[in-house]
Structure 1
Amino acid sequence: METVKNRVTELLNIKYPILEGGMAWVGTAKLAAAVSNAGGLGTIGSGNMDAKLLKNQIDTIRKLTDKPFAINVIMLNPHIEEVIELIIQEKVPIAILAAGNSSKYISKLREKGIKTLAVVSSENLALRLENAGAQAIIGEGMECGGHIGDVTTMVLVPKLVEILSVPVIAAGGIADGKGAVAALSLGAEGIQMGTRFIATYECEAHENYKKKIIDAGIRDTIITGQKMGHPARIIKTKFGKKIAKLEASSPEEAEEALVGSLMKAFVYGDEERGSFMAGQSSGLINEIKSVKDVIEDTMDYIINNKFSK
């Protein structure tokens, strides 16, 4: 399959305009390398990592691929200053800044030659980050897994395309070529998928995590953390329902129960204490595939529907 040439692929120096979502815990160097090797942009989800942990991941991905990769950095990371310095020191090719206003870091990264993208869930923040120097904006609709905004992909993406001059990448609810073509028809120049890459052979998540996604319907997610100011979409489980009830009666107890819950899902597949973060697109995923097959199947559909350029 030939390289797709548009502003996203040329900016990121990748073959196809497909990005891996920056998933904490799930977005390991191994999974990111598989995405990059298959022609997309693999992303290490740094989550709350400190510089030492992230350095190990960077060393690992450089042993597994010579293709471009990204580090996703969330503004909530208590170690963010040292993480930004490490990205600069290691000359990481691409940084994706998410979960908040990242204006203060964009120019710092770009001055060091690091291509810098930003994830948004609103048009106001998108404009602010474009003005701060973001080279592309990832518009993430509320269908996505993990931390969410309150606007759908179908509404957010065309609005961003209308008001921004930098390329827009669509995220949230996309799990296959049909979703990709829909996003591209809205004016996006690339797509980002997260949940679809969890249900792959290369993903290091516990098999229970993958099975939850495969077995889920389109209504089998729940939003936790709303009353605490950080809503997140997870697969509906006993734990998720418990958190929803606790939020109404004891937000402090709910917040305490959520600490480490993603790790418990990823490492142990723990259904009693784990948050299986995943998007509504879980209901569209029916089998585990290789990363290569996910990307090639998506691109086949895009090209056959003439949205590759």
Structure 2
Amino acid sequence: MKLPSLKIGNLEARIPIIQGGMGVGISMSGLASAVANAGGIGVISGLHLSLSDPKWGINIRKANIEALRAEIRKAYKLAPNGIIGVNILVAITEYATMVKTAIEEGIDMIISGAGLPLNLPEFVKGTQTKAVPIVSSAKAASVICKSWDKKHGYCPDAVVVEGPLAGGHLGFKREELENIDEHRLEDVVPEVIEAVKPYEEKYGRKIPVIAAGGIFDGKDIAKFLKLGASGVQMATRFVATYECDASLEFKQAYVNAKKDDVIIINSPVGMPGRAIRNGFLEDVKKSQKTPDFCKYNCLRTCIPEKAPYCIAQALLNAQKGNLDEGFAFCGQNVYRVDKIVHVSDLMDELVKEAEENL
């Protein structure tokens, strides 16, 4: 059976795959444009795009805005006919400014998690930019839909449902992650589909539900499409591609990871996260790291004087290949990654597997 396209409003991706946004500097214009050119939806992470560029000096806030503009323009230049999104965390200090900047640059969609993006419609309403919240439960989807409907007369253009097997910061409590079977993505996706139905009926349009978190191959894609999802979001698989914007050392950490290397950490920003175990994280666990002076004031949830390390700097170090002074976030299935490939080949493989299992 042929894989269906993914329609979000007037946008249509030939392949129903959204590449997950990964910061710091993991998914930028290089990866996003490659995915878009291959028929999926490429996503730039809006988190600290400027940190790897020394020309900005100490003016981090202005730098992030200008770097976001530059990355969006570069992505569309590389993929003029592709669909590009930006992932902007609700928790970042400059959320509103980053959202406005992306819209000014004509971004196709803004995908927003790490909090409830309750004011996102006020920015996108009246524009061509789609508003796509990330949720981890039907309850969160209902809260967003109800709030957007009441305050803005708007409903989500799509909803990404992220399960507990995802990488990076997670929308679950640590104890919930230790009982993953109670929060299976297979159970949550149908619940979210039901939760958005009243708003589909009210607004007279479909709200595509996108499954995310732990999706690794075409079999997984087929499974969630059969459960009613309109598409999937995948991140981990796209790290081990030549087009990914991370260093070779970062990508190799994915290839080398074993199942026992995948751990849940307590992030300095107050959320649990999934990462690859390494010496840096072992030192953190042993309390051998000391708080850093805050250079960035990037996340509202971070308390620098209590943080054992600056997560922005640690992620940037890892992106550049210095994993002795940083670490790599990852999805639960990272241990299944065994080689670095081209995005186009990965997409072909995923489509073939999915069509064989539909």
3-state DSSP of counterpart to 1:175: coil
Go from structure 1 to structure 2 and tell me whether the alpha carbon gap of 1:3 and 1:305 turns closer, same or farther (over 3 Å shift).
Answer: closer
Q: Which whole-Å deviations, capped at 9, do the CAs of 1:69-127 have from their partners, x for residues lacking one?
A: 10111112222222122122222121111211101112421322211111112222211
Shift of 1:253: 5.9
Shift of 1:290: 0.8
Match of 2:58 in 1: none
Match of 1:147 in 2: 169
Alignment of 1:100-111 (within 5 A): 100-111=115-126
Give the TM-score normalised by structure 1: 0.90
3-state DSSP of counterpart to 1:256: coil
RMSD, aligned α-carbons: 2.4
Shift of 1:263: 0.6
3-state DSSP of counterpart to 1:232: strand
> Where in structure 2 are there 5+ consecutive unaligned residues?
50-63, 149-154, 173-182, 198-206, 292-302
Match of 2:156 in 1: 134
Q: Does the Cα contact within 8 Å between 1:19 and 1:40 map onto a contact in 2? A: yes
Q: Does the Cα contact within 8 Å between 1:227 and 1:247 map onto a contact in 2? A: no
Cα distance in 2 for partners of 1:142, 1:248 equals 28
Q: Does the Cα contact within 8 Å between 2:19 and 2:43 map onto a contact in 1? A: yes
Cα distance in 1 for partners of 2:89, 2:310 equals 21
Match of 1:43 in 2: 43
Cα distance in 2 for partners of 1:7, 1:21 equals 17
Cα distance in 2 for partners of 1:134, 1:126 equals 9
1:256 aligns with 2:325: no
1:83 aligns with 2:98: yes
* Percent of matched pairs sharing the same residue: 30
Cα distance in 2 for partners of 1:276, 1:75 equals 21
> What is the aligned residue count?
304
Cα distance in 2 for partners of 1:69, 1:7 equals 14
Q: Which whole-Å deviations, capped at 9, do the CAs of 1:193-232 have from their partners, x for residues lacking one?
A: 1110000011121112111111222332122225852212
Match of 2:74 in 1: 60
- Structure 1, 189-198 or 219-228: larger mean CA deviation: 219-228
Match of 1:124 in 2: 139
Alignment of 1:85-234 (within 5 A): 85-131=100-146, 132=148, 133-150=155-172, 151-165=183-197, 166-225=207-266, 229-234=270-275
Shift of 1:247: 10
> Where in structure 1 are there 5+ consecutive unaligned residues?
none
Shift of 1:2: 7.0
3-state DSSP of counterpart to 2:344: helix
Match of 2:279 in 1: 238
Cα distance in 2 for partners of 1:249, 1:100 equals 28
Q: Does the Cα contact within 8 Å between 1:98 and 1:118 map onto a contact in 2? A: yes
Cα distance in 1 for partners of 2:312, 2:109 equals 29
Shift of 1:36: 0.1
Cα distance in 2 for partners of 1:48, 1:227 equals 16
3-state DSSP of counterpart to 2:352: helix
Match of 1:18 in 2: 17
Q: Does the Cα contact within 8 Å between 2:290 and 2:309 map onto a contact in 1? A: no
Letter in 1 for 2:96: E
3-state DSSP of counterpart to 1:263: helix
Letter in 2 for 1:161: I
Match of 1:300 in 2: 352
Letter in 1 for 2:252: K
Alignment of 1:21-32 (within 5 A): 21-24=20-23, 25-32=25-32
3-state DSSP of counterpart to 2:353: helix
Shift of 1:244: 3.1
Letter in 1 for 2:16: P
In terms of Rg, which structure is larger? 2
Match of 1:285 in 2: 337
Cα distance in 2 for partners of 1:143, 1:161 equals 20
Give the TM-score normalised by structure 2: 0.78
Shift of 1:136: 0.9
Shift of 1:29: 0.3
3-state DSSP of counterpart to 1:88: helix
Cα distance in 2 for partners of 1:186, 1:11 equals 24
Go from structure 1 to structure 2 and tell me whether the alpha carbon gap of 1:18 and 1:121 turns closer, same or farther (over 3 Å shift).
Answer: same
3-state DSSP of counterpart to 1:272: helix
Go from structure 1 to structure 2 and tell me whether the alpha carbon gap of 1:254 and 1:117 turns closer, same or farther (over 3 Å shift).
Answer: same
